[in-house]
Chains A and B, each alone.
Chain A
Amino acid sequence: MSTRTLSFGGRSSGWIWYGYVTLVALFLMIPLVSLVIASFYDGRFFSIVDYQFTLGWYNAALSSGSIRRAFTNTLFISVPVTVLSTIIGTAAALAYTRYEFPYRESFKLIALLPIFFPLILLGLGMSMWASQIGLGYGLVPSIIGELVWISPIVMFVVSITALGIDPNTEEAARDLGADTLTLYRRVLFPLVADGVVSGAIFAFVLSWNNYYIVSYLSGPQSTITTWIHGRMTQGFTPVVPAVASLIFYVSILLVVGAIVIEYRKDDTGE
């Protein structure tokens, strides 16, 4: 990926530019950073003046049964959602980008629609349906609900990679004697693999952080996000920043992983 970037002119305008970027970055990061700082703060009410470090809240969080259960529940949702939405989204992306069929553009619009729908309404709608069709509430309905929202996002991410492949690639493979299995196994899948990995990471992070859909569909099962929300309505406790930071660490780890994959690809000259 060799993209040419504009460089920002003279020395003084350069400083203004970097200063601006730093301020924006700070503005975006402060809530997250303060959360992390608070999670290590030894005391009930956070104060920056008289800071004392402790790992106690993490200890409390990890030893609490209800928090551990919330983590396990979240994993029970996120892992299947990641696998299934990656399969569904990749298939849809390949269909949209690599095949001609009637109403192809309408297919894309309808498939991507859930992304742009307010999550709080999507969750509400799903919740109404879940009781109507007797699906009920719990982990499985949460998985199904998240799939509706996350699969289109995977489709979107994989489509970006798939659109970059020479449109003659499949025909060339067929022409050289490849059957459908060979075409997918040796040509198409390797070419979209990077997009699929990115899509899967997206899927996991979005599912891991999801609140609205699970809040409507998880019923008696609490996930980390619903646990945090529930805990906060009962009043603040410093365990909350620790739990929230734990979610954040997992997400940031995956994002860093995605960046590493991207950089490694650049190094191999692709």
Chain B
Amino acid sequence: MLQSTNLRAEYGALVAVNDVDIRIETGEFATIVGPSGCGKTTLLRMLAGHQAPTDGRIELDGVDITDAEPQNRPTSLVFQSWALFPHMTVRENIEFPMRNSGLEVGDRVEELLRQVRLDPEIHADKQATELSGGQKQRVALARSLAYEPDILLLDEPLASLDYVLRKRLQRELADLNEELGMTFIYVTHSLESALLMSDKLFVLENGNIIQTGSPEDIYRAPNTKFIAEFMGDANTFELDGATERDGSYEVHAAPFDQTTTVPYEDGRDTPAYLVVRYDDTAVGTELTADLGLTVAVENVLVRGNTVLVECKQPGDDDEYVAEMPVDAFRATGIEKGDTAYLQWNASKSILVPE
């Protein structure tokens, strides 16, 4: 188990990581997710030992590793730039950590390459500079695994790869985590990576962990408007009335006429926003769902098998979006410029505090 207590990083007056407590069980795939500049990379670098914390402790299985040098702690970091040694072959890159820690080389290089889905016959003796982006990423992963770390740290290593390759490698990383039983800590600003691979999410904003939980929990019950919007494209309505009633809240917002009752977890601040995701929202000529508002359709964007319908209320700048299957949208007969109902069912509403 990896645990940080009051972990803090300051750059002069700037607090990059603000007294962060995290707890990651052995074998877990944990993801630290947040927008650029939220302190996630600083946090990861402190876990790897490349940056000394201003304050706080890091413990691995009860042992304090706060001040251990990177070469003396059982973590290995896969860099965003991969940082392969360009003057070495693939084999030499992978043997490097093994030789440093006195591990038996034997057939390990071939074994590791197969583990990251590279054919050793073809790739082992290539120069590191001859590889494509995806191959470099795989070799960087194999090289880190060759170190046999207890914890593998990954700093957005998929960010610069194309969409298809990224998808495939995300799956492979999740499989590898399961196969090896090794703890993976992944840092990303990308929601799709976070949701797809992780057992546990830490959402970081301005150096603070603002929510921890499984991807599903956070997706269903975001703690703040920021997380709700960050976790998925969503329409947000500022509430102008919220009354508690048996563990639920009766709420109202100016753009729609109806009031609605939405369940809300106890012990949180009074809800301030109602959030509904684009793909839970539809447009129609009639109001058939529980909640809705009259809008003018401003734009229709086809995105593969769904359409994004961009709408506005007259005299209001806020834009609302409904994401619907193409066929369902065609069936409504609505076109750009028409007036329609933007609507959704009450159960799809999510309340979040300020």
| A residues with CB within 8 A of B | 166-169, 171-179, 182, 186-187, 190-191, 269-270
Contact = CB atoms under 8 A, between A and B. Distances in A.
Contacts of B70: 171, 174-175
29 contacts: A166-B81, A166-B83, A167-B81, A168-B83, A171-B48, A171-B70, A171-B77, A171-B83, A172-B84, A172-B85, A173-B85, A174-B69, A174-B70, A175-B48, A175-B49, A175-B70, A175-B144, A176-B97, A176-B100, A176-B143, A177-B97, A179-B71, A179-B100, A191-B85, A269-B127, A269-B129, A270-B86, A270-B127, A270-B129
B79 interface: yes
Interface in B48-90: 48-50, 69-71, 75-77, 79, 81, 83-87
B96 interface: yes
Nearest to B74: A177
Contacts of B129: 269-270
A190 B87 contact: yes
Given A167-B81, A172-B77, 5 more contacts: A174-B50, A175-B75, A176-B71, A176-B97, A177-B71
Contacts of B146: 176
A253 to B, nearest CB: 27
- Nearest 7 CB-CB pairs, A to B? A177-B100, A176-B97, A172-B83, A168-B83, A174-B70, A168-B79, A177-B101
A62 to B, nearest CB: 43
A176 B83 CA distance: 11
Contacts of B87: 190-191
Given A168-B79, A177-B71, A182 B50 contact: no
Given A175-B50, A175-B70, A187 B85 contact: yes
A175 B76 CA distance: 6
Interface of B: 48-50, 69-71, 75-77, 79, 81, 83-87, 96-97, 100-101, 127, 129-130, 143-144, 146-147
A187 to B, nearest CB: 6
B139 to A, nearest CB: 12
A190 B49 CA distance: 25
Contacts of B75: 175
Contacts of A270: 86, 127, 129
Contacts of A174: 50, 69-71
B86 A172 contact: no
Contacts of A169: 83, 85
Contacts of B79: 168, 171-172
A174 to B, nearest CB: 4
A176 B147 contact: yes
B183 to A, nearest CB: 16
A173 B85 CA distance: 9
Contact of A176 (B81, B86, B96, B127): B96
Contacts of B101: 177
A169 B97 CA distance: 13
Contacts of A166: 81, 83, 86
Contacts of B85: 169, 172-173, 187, 191
Nearest to B102: A177
Contacts of A190: 87
Nearest to B70: A174
A178 B50 contact: no
Contacts of B86: 166, 191, 270
Nearest to A194: B87
A181 to B, nearest CB: 11
Contacts of B97: 176-177
A185 to B, nearest CB: 12
A269 B86 CA distance: 11
A168 B44 CA distance: 14
Contacts of B127: 269-270
A167 B45 CA distance: 14
Of the listed residues A174, A176, A187, the one surrounded by the most CB atoms of chain B closer than 10 A to its CB is: A176
Contact of A168 (B49, B81, B143): B81
